[in-house]
Amino acid sequence: MTPDQPDRRIDRLIRRFPEPLQPDLRESADRLLAVRSLKDGVEALHQEVEHVLRVSTPVFVRYPTIRRPRRAKALVASAAAIAAAVEEGDELLTLFSVGTLAAPGFGTVLAVNLLATATEAWAATSVRVHQLHDHGRPVHTEQTAADVREAMFGPVDTSSGVTPVIRKVAAGGARRLGRRWAVGLIPVFGIAYGGFDAARTVDRVLRLPLPPVEDG
């Protein structure tokens, strides 16, 4: 693998997203690419998932370019498979063999997984927005974000306020990525599982109850 291959792969993933979001994703990816220790990696991933969840949903609601559930699943599965393929490389195996000091490719693993998670959120948001439009229901950014979070990470108690909720979701996302990493170390099966697990988010968001029709 040549040194610039990870950057090309990450740039290719970033260019899939709506243009207004690309600078934020590039900055998040750059911060993760600089990570060199396990301890820093866990905290950095937590922070970047929180950041991306916060800034991306309004953009995804404005740009719901993925209309068909089948295409949404294919896009999500493709991004998850890329992430799993990176995890199966020598980078993550080296990471676990050296303990607390991460291999140079560890930042790439973090960045690609973050982008795969963002792709999942984009696909789920897009199909949810189109579902609401098709049924004549209102599209509210905060409620749509809550629906997507529930589809991705399970129900979250919102009584404690928005910021704690985002932090809980970010932590949940980091834990879920950790489970995918463990499976991703199993050749071939890890790639298939990553795509299957991510694609289920599209089905889950479409099964959530629809909001009532607004008067007027």
Q: How confident is the model at residue 193 (pLDDT cuts 50, 70, 90)?
A: very low
Handedness of CA 182, 119, 6, 196 (dihedral sign): positive
Mean pLDDT of 148-162: 67
Q: How confident is the model at residue 6 (pLDDT cuts 50, 70, 90)?
A: low
What CA–CA distance (Å, rounded) separates 112 from 180?
13
Instruction: Quick: pLDDT tens for 89-128.
Output: 544 444 444 444 445 577 888 888 888 889 989 999 999 9
Cβ-contact 166, 64 below 8 angstroms: no
Residue ranges per structural domain of the chain: 5-207
Helix (H) or strand (E) holding 187: none
CA distances from 25 to 67, 97, 164 (A): 22, 30, 22
Nearest to 111 by CA among 211, 202, 12, 210: 12
The model carries a pTM of 0.77
What CA–CA distance (Å, rounded) separates 12 from 3?
16
